[in-house]
């Protein structure tokens, strides 16, 4: 970078705060990790056809260490921060960037706040709500570089037949290609969390299957994985109250026997799509 970036420890000192694990506050303080995060957007497929850094969205800006790096990498940044004291600090610390029209600070919960149109998001997410935030961002079909707990990240990118593969894997990969680009030790944060972390990069894509009713497809996947130790036959019958099926027996009668004898962890996303389409066709009423 052409000029020194703000020191994360100095930002914490100027803000006069300490990270609070009870409030899901773990500030990223490792300069090397902070400097690398925006760069993961550079190799996103399609970057050669136009930059993804026109308007970067950051969820959970904290004291602004990553915000500072995003301002160096992007044209414009919107930083969302739910803590009123930290939001006030950000407005003071980055007053020049705000006055120049390069930074907007949104005070509020990212699950409820009105989010702007954005070209990509790079964020150190609050881990307690990381799933909810991820699935608010993924349907926007924009490149994402997000920090998660390591276990969550591993489940997000998992393939069928592996222990980590589950509802999260199918749902996330429905929207995007997902890859772990870096693991991050506890010591990179203040205070250190109880677990390791990992950075996931997602690149939006259309799935290699068709889904007529996306809400039903995602609900069906959720339902089946609540009974992941059961065969698909039994899972379909046992979870009609979750998936919203009126006639699960009709689905079982019409489905392929090979699929019915498997368990959820062995089914590829395409298999789930085929089953959901069948269930939608023969197992749901007219409403």
Q: d(Cα 56, Cα 94) in Å, to the nearest integer?
A: 16
Identical topology for domains 8-204 and 214-282: no
Q: d(Cα 109, Cα 272) in Å, to the nearest integer?
A: 33
Q: d(Cα 147, Cα 184) in Å, to the nearest integer?
A: 9
pLDDT digits (tens, 9 = 90+) for 233-280: 999 999 999 999 999 999 999 999 999 999 999 999 999 999 999 999
Contacts of 260 by beta carbon, 8 Å cutoff, 6+ apart? 231, 232, 233, 236, 252
Torsion angles phi and psi, residue 152, rounded to 5? -65, -45
User: pTM for this one?
Assistant: 0.92
Q: Residues annotated in the binding site for S-adenosyl-L-methionine, as ranges?
A: 26, 28, 60, 81, 109, 124
Residue whose pair of structure tokens reads 């790096």 in the numeric block = 69
Structural fold of domain 8-204: Rossmann fold (3.40.50)
Q: d(Cα 287, Cα 116) in Å, to the nearest integer?
A: 35
**The pairing of beta strand 55-59 with beta strand 144-149:** unpaired
For domain 214-282, give the CATH number: 1.10.8
Domain boundaries, the chain: 8-204, 214-282
- Indicate if the pLDDT at residue 49 is higher than 60: no
Q: Residues annotated in the binding site, as ranges?
A: 26, 28, 60, 81, 109, 124
pLDDT digits (tens, 9 = 90+) for 161-175: 999 999 999 999 999
């Amino acid at each position: 970078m052409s000029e020194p970036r703000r020191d994360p420890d100095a930002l914490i000192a100027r803000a006069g705060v300490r990270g609070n694990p009870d409030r899901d506050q773990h500030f990223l303080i490792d300069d090397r990790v902070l400097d690398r995060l925006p760069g993961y957007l550079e190799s996103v497929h399609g970057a050669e056809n136009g930059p993804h850094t026109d308007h970067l969205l950051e969820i959970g800006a904290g004291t602004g260490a990553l915000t500072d790096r995003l301002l160096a990498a992007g044209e414009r940044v919107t930083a969302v921060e739910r803590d009123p004291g930290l939001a006030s600090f950000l407005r003071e610390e980055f007053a020049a960037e705000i006055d120049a029209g390069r930074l907007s600070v949104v005070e509020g919960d990212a699950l409820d706040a009105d989010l702007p149109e954005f070209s990509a998001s790079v964020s150190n997410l609050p881990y307690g709500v990381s799933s909810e935030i991820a699935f608010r961002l993924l349907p926007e079909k924009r490149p994402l570089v997000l920090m998660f707990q390591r276990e969550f990240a591993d489940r997000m990118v998992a393939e069928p037949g592996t222990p980590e593969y589950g509802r999260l894997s199918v749902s996330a990969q429905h929207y995007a290609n997902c890859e772990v680009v870096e693991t991050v030790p506890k010591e990179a944060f203040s205070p250190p969390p109880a677990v390791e972390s990992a950075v996931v990069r997602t690149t939006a894509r259309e799935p290699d299957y068709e889904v007529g009713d996306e809400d039903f497809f995602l609900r069906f996947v959720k339902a089946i994985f609540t009974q992941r130790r059961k065969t698909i036959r039994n899972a379909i019958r046992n979870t009609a109250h979750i998936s919203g099926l009126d006639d699960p027996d009709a689905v079982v009668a019409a489905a392929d026997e090979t699929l019915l004898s498997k368990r959820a962890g062995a089914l590829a996303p395409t298999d789930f799509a085929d089953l959901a389409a069948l269930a939608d066709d023969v197992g749901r009423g007219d409403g």
